[in-house]
Amino acid sequence: MQNKQIGINGTSVSAIGLGCMGMSDLYGKADRKESIATIHATLEAGITLFDTGDFYGVGHNELLLNEALKGTKRDNAFIAVKFGAMRSPDGGWVGVDTRPQAVKNFLSYTLQRLDVDYIDLYQPARVDPNVPIEETVGAIADMVKAGYVRNIGLSEANADTIRRAHAVHPISWLQIEYSLFSRGIEKEILPTLRELGISLSAYGVLSRGLLSGKWSKDRQGAPDFRSFAPRFMGENLDKNLALVEALRVIAEEKQTNVAQLAIAWVLSRGEDVIPLIGARKQSQLQDALDAVNLKLSAADLERIEAAVPPEAVAGTRYAAEQMSTLGVE
């Protein structure tokens, strides 16, 4: 497995990471044994980066990761944790809290659930409209000084917020959705990251399954949060699946599949781009591992981007009420 440096402090992580959310939340029930086996397979493949959130399954994901990583040398697992999103007992979403006292409270529970002495990277899940980003990052910086956090990240922040946060403490990465279907960051956010020496942690690289090459029209209305996502609805879904079929032609010519092609495209965007793969099963993990070794020529990239023009993608990535909380689009 290749490694990449995040930010400017020299911290090294695997070229791809495992996004653990789906093992606990939002995509329906997951098999616990298979989830743990997938984490073990990830480690065996040389992947060191594990991305979680304290609100994924209301703590379930951190406990699951703790169980799976038992016996693993601490330095072999780079654990990135998102915080700030608040949940109700029925699983609903009830706001964001990134006040300095909340930062320290959330971190305390995370350290306990993961059973670790420090978190490799800590980041607010969303920008809190009621709390200046300087206060939030300042509180995390206090935890860096105290030894409880090694790196600070951001998630779904716009260019201005990134600059303000970075002025308080060096930001190691921005986590934001980036794929052939979500390229809004290329105009302003990605250039800002590169100017400041901040890496990109790209999630949603398969657009929640659309770019897996396995989604079909008859799966519309799947019993998870995608049933509310505009890209999976009606005519939008028809248009997006047509784009996937255009990609499939290229993938078959290269003797690969759509998922591997989509992941390889994200990997091709630069050494500062680290895709997160939301695998819940060992079989899903294999596509990501194969994509690392899939080389795309300039001609390949030109064909891929011609097959999926950004303006041809139909529908936003989240429902309307959630779009206002994002840093782009």
pLDDT of res. 218: 63
pLDDT of res. 120: 96
DSSP string, 18-70: EE-GGGTSSS----HHHHHHHHHHHHHTT--EEEEETTTTTTHHHHHHHHHHT
Residue 248, both tokens? 């499939």
Across 52-66, 272-286, 305-319, least confident range? 305-319
Q: Is the pLDDT of residue 75 over 60?
A: yes
pLDDT of res. 226: 61
pLDDT category at 255 given cuts 50, 70, 90 is very high
pLDDT of res. 279: 83
pLDDT of res. 224: 61
CA–CA dist 53, 124 (Å, integer): 9
181/234: higher pLDDT: 181
CA–CA dist 147, 125 (Å, integer): 21
pLDDT of res. 290: 85
pLDDT of res. 189: 96
- Is 152:144 a contact under the CB 8 Å cutoff? yes
Q: Which residue has the tokens 């994002």?
A: 326
- Is 36:70 a contact under the CB 8 Å cutoff? no
Secondary structure element (H or E) that encloses residue 302, with its range = helix 298-307
pLDDT of res. 225: 58
pLDDT category at 52 given cuts 50, 70, 90 is very high
In a domain, 216, yes or no: no
The torsion defined by the Cα of 295, 259, 41 and 61, in degrees rounded to 10, comes to: 130
In a domain, 183, yes or no: yes
Percent of the chain at pLDDT above 70? 91
Percent of the chain at pLDDT above 90? 66
CA–CA dist 95, 75 (Å, integer): 34
Tell me the mean pLDDT in the region 20-49: 88
CA–CA dist 279, 257 (Å, integer): 16
Counting every residue, how long is the chain? 329
Q: Which of 288, 199, 266 is nearest to 17 (CA)?
A: 288
pLDDT of res. 313: 85
pLDDT category at 227 given cuts 50, 70, 90 is low
Under the phi-then-psi rule, with left for phi > 0, alpha for psi from -120 to 50, and beta for the rest, what region is 33?
Answer: alpha
Distances, alpha carbon 80 to alpha carbons 55, 107, 147, 277, in Å: 13, 12, 15, 14
pLDDT of res. 121: 97
Q: Is the pLDDT of residue 223 over 60?
A: no
Tell me the mean pLDDT in the region 228-240: 81
In a domain, 114, yes or no: yes
Across 16-25, 273-282, 315-324, least confident range? 315-324
Q: How far is CA 252 from the centre of its chain?
A: 27
In a domain, 220, yes or no: no
Global confidence as pTM: 0.89
pLDDT of res. 325: 61
- Active-site positions read 56
- Is 126:102 a contact under the CB 8 Å cutoff? no
* End-to-end CA gap in the chain: 33
Percent helix, strand, coil in the chain, to 5, is 45, 20, 35
Across 72-86, 179-193, 223-237, least confident range? 223-237
Q: What are phi and psi of 200, to 5 degrees?
A: -115, 120
Angle separating helix axes 60-69 and 32-44, nearest 10 degrees: 50
In a domain, 328, yes or no: no
Residue 294, both tokens? 């899939």
Residue 129, both tokens? 């409209």
Residue 25 domain boundaries: 3-210+266-298
In a domain, 118, yes or no: yes
CA–CA dist 110, 89 (Å, integer): 18
Of the CA atoms within 13 Å of residue 45, those in its CB half-sphere come to 22
CATH number at residue 92: 3.20.20.100
Q: Which residue has the tokens 């960051």?
A: 185
Q: Is the pLDDT of residue 195 over 60?
A: yes
- Domain tally, the chain: 1
In a domain, 312, yes or no: no
In a domain, 243, yes or no: no
